[in-house]
Amino acid sequence: MNILQCSICKKPFQSLGGKICNECLSKMDEEFIIVRDYLYENKHADMDTVSEETGISKQVIMHLLKEGRLILEDAQGGKGGGMLLCEVCKTPINSGRMCKKCKDMVASTMKKNISTQRPPGASNDDQANFKGSAKLKR
């Protein structure tokens, strides 16, 4: 476990891999429900309006977008245009951190790297063998 500074409240916390403390995660879940419910009733609202009307900060709304929990209406020049960009190629996106093209490229690169790291003679249907574990005989 690492001690990190929460990216939301800036307090130190013990992390199991995330960048947000448990208190902020719980609060963010509650805020997500508020934003989601607001957007069901106001489908065309922009981020400023959502933030003003719900009292939820733009930082939290942006985090929910990057996490993929919310989706912008239009990333190609509409209300969401340019607000959320792919972290690789800077193309406008509706949700998440990368556009489909960049996600596919990263996945392809990872698959290539994994296949080149197999030991000689290993086939695709070999089971993963973790250090210190024994293979089951059939």
Q: What is the pLDDT along the chain (138 residues), one digit of tens a residue?
A: 788 999 888 999 998 888 889 999 899 899 999 999 999 998 888 888 999 999 999 888 988 888 888 887 764 444 445 578 899 999 888 888 899 999 999 998 888 888 776 666 655 555 554 444 444 444
Global confidence as pTM: 0.64
Q: Is 85 helix (H, G, I), strand (E, B) or coil?
A: strand
Tokens of 89: 């190629």
Read off the tokens for 99: 């556009």
CB crowding 47-85: b at 16 or more within 10 Å, else e: beebbeebebeeebbebbbeeebbebeebeeeebeebbe
Kindly state the tokens that stand for 34.
């508020």
